[in-house]
Amino acid sequence: MTDIPFDRITPTKLSEQVASRIESLVLTNRLHQGDKLPPERELANRFGVSRAVVRESIKLLEERGLVEPRSGRGAFITAPSFGSLASSINVAFHMQDCTADDLYEARWCLESFIVRLATERATETDIARMEAAIAVMDQNLDNPDGFMPGDVEFHAALAAATHNPLFMVMSRPLVQMILTLGHLGFSYGHVRERHENHQRLLECIKKRDIDGAEAVIRHHLNLSRDAFSEQTRSPAP
């Protein structure tokens, strides 16, 4: 019996319990985006807690991107934004002692699969969106402030072309974080070669060449990782 791990029970704060109850109502579709939560006093009575506990739980839900307090109107259910997800990933990246290699590995695995689906499923509208993003990058090869938004948009369009909304939700924060980290190293990063990979990738998608598209995205991500490594090893020229 001494080898059985009977772990100590950790009491959960009341505010966490209330937040979890409300979150469960959202996840089971009993509360929907745009629904207004009952007033603070009513929630306190229903949950059998103080109003201070309710206020703290609303704050927790706001941090999770599930609730939006509106001045003078109350608290409303909302959908987590890319910003809130990116913020969570950013916090995890720093607090879990993740490295840039960890970040690139996650993106490498995710986007390799995204590209395969996008090549199979992309519509003419998806392709037009990628072409527009490439045009933005074409005009800003020497301007990181103009190039980076086009780069983010291209990879967002790639994820959207899978027609699976979860891929867009998962991939965009990773792409945004990597581009933010590498912004100062723009002058290093074989930008034109990396950009040519965007064009090659789009050609593979148009031809429905799944294996070719996967090979291009892997080469592209390896170049991006190498460029970031150069940035961290030496000062910008």
Q: What is the CATH number of the domain that holds 60?
A: 1.10.10.10
pLDDT, position 50: 94
The first and second tokens of residue 105, run together, are 């590995």
pLDDT, position 237: 46
Mean per-residue pLDDT, 209-227 = 88
pLDDT, position 236: 46
117 shares its domain with 224: yes
The answer to whether residue 9 is domain-embedded is: no
pLDDT tens-digit map of 72-104: 889 999 876 655 665 566 666 666 677 777 878
The residue segments making up the domain with residue 165 are 83-233
171 shares its domain with 197: yes
Report the DSSP pairing between strands 67-70 and 74-77. antiparallel
Mean per-residue pLDDT, 119-146 = 93
Q: Which of 77, 96, 116 is the last residue of a domain?
A: 77
Does the pLDDT at position 59 exceed 80? yes
Distances (CA, A) of 46 to 43, 75, 129, 132: 5, 16, 48, 52
The answer to whether residue 6 is domain-embedded is: no
Average pLDDT, the chain: 83
Mean per-residue pLDDT, 53-81 = 86
Q: Which has more confidence, 14 or 103?
A: 14
71 shares its domain with 92: no
Instruction: Please report, for the domain that includes residue 151, its CATH number.
Output: 1.20.120.530
Tell me the β-bridge partners of 77. 67
pLDDT, position 189: 53
Burial 31-55 (b: 16+ CB within 10 A, else e): beeeeebeeeeebbeebebeeebbe
